[in-house]
Amino acid sequence: FGMARKAAPGGPWVRMMSVGATKKMNLVGAINDALRIALETDDRAVIFGEDVGFGGVFRATNELQDSFGKHRVFNTPLCEQGIAGFAVGMAAAGATPIAEIQFADYIFPAFDQIVNEAAKYRYRSGGQFDVGGLTIRAPYGSVGHGGLYHSQSPEAYFTHTPGLKVVIPRSPSQAKGLLLASIRDPNPVLFFEPKALYRAATEEVPEGDFTVPLASAEVVKGGSDVTVIGYGAQMGVLQKAVARAEEELGISCELIDLRTLLPWDSDTVFASVRKTGRCLISHEAPITSGFGAELAASIQHSCFLHLEAPVARVCGFDTPFPLAHEKVYLPSVARCFEGIKQTCAF
């Protein structure tokens, strides 16, 4: 598929290092910390995008230009196609470009550069050339007041593209470790950041340099009655729904965070579904052709004889993201709880 193999265990992009001290950070602070470490540890690393020189609209790159200079952290014109094309060229020349698309909603002008150039560069050259040093960051998802142009979840458009990796973190520590792993992975990576959690999610984060392995899901909570799968900001919703299902209904839920959508960790998911016999998948993106559809089809194919109920999906609706009806559109705690309840009652 035109992708480099993952390094052996202990390699630089899958290593979970001994990090020692921790510091309380929110998610955007953890992103900033990861970017600072990337610039410190790789002289070829550069950061660019719209307004990143003064910190960006969310301040994810705050003070980095002051520390590393305008030749390593710099603004670009308001042209997503140009940002992505420039990043592809830099990566092809051996640099480590970390490009920012200010909102994931505006990544579509860069679509051709990402899916036809970055994703296929290694394959079309027979492995002679690659843009494996490329990472594209973009804040995605609902934020409470973003409306239809600042709230979308476009991950499924890219999970259909061999040659890319797609990563979405759920928390500050995960964001830091996964971002550093993405920057050091020998393949182009799209890193979608849940902007609703930028300042809402806070926890103790290791201060040192560490990575969280890509293509590896995490069983956040063990259980025996139903497997619940999500990623990104939706994990917080699912944790509350799972807790309510256990308290009110006595349902034992196994909760899985995919973390990487492409390639996704089918081994962990299949093992869980074969154990529980039931599965619910949830994401903010519209239900039709959302990434949950791929998960449901794969689970049905590989776990059919173990299933006690149809695979359920609780997702966004098939409409543009509605400002006035955001609370109705989103797969809320109540909707996910009802989905768990119906799946276990089947």
Number of Cβ within 10 Å of residue 315's Cβ equals 24
Options 50, 100, 117, 150, the catalytic residue: 150
- DSSP character string of 228-266: EEE-TTHHHHHHHHHHHHHHHH---EEEEE--EEET--H
CA distance linking residue 304 with residue 9, whole number of Å: 32
> Is 150 noted as a catalytic residue in this protein?
yes
Helix (H, G, I), strand (E, B) or coil at 194: strand
**Residue 50 is among the residues annotated as catalytic for this protein:** no
Phi, psi of 193 (to 5 degrees): -110, 125
The strand pairing partners of 45, in sequence order, are 96
CA distance 232 to 212: 15
Q: Among 331, 341, 340, which Cα is nearest to 227's?
A: 340
**What single letter denotes the amino acid at residue 178?**
L
124 alpha carbon, distance to own chain's centre: 26
Q: Are 281 and 230 in contact (CB under 8 A)?
A: yes
**Given 50, 80, 100, 117, which residue is catalytic?**
80
What is the C-alpha separation between 52 and 74, in angstroms, rounded?
Answer: 6
Catalytically active residues are 80, 150
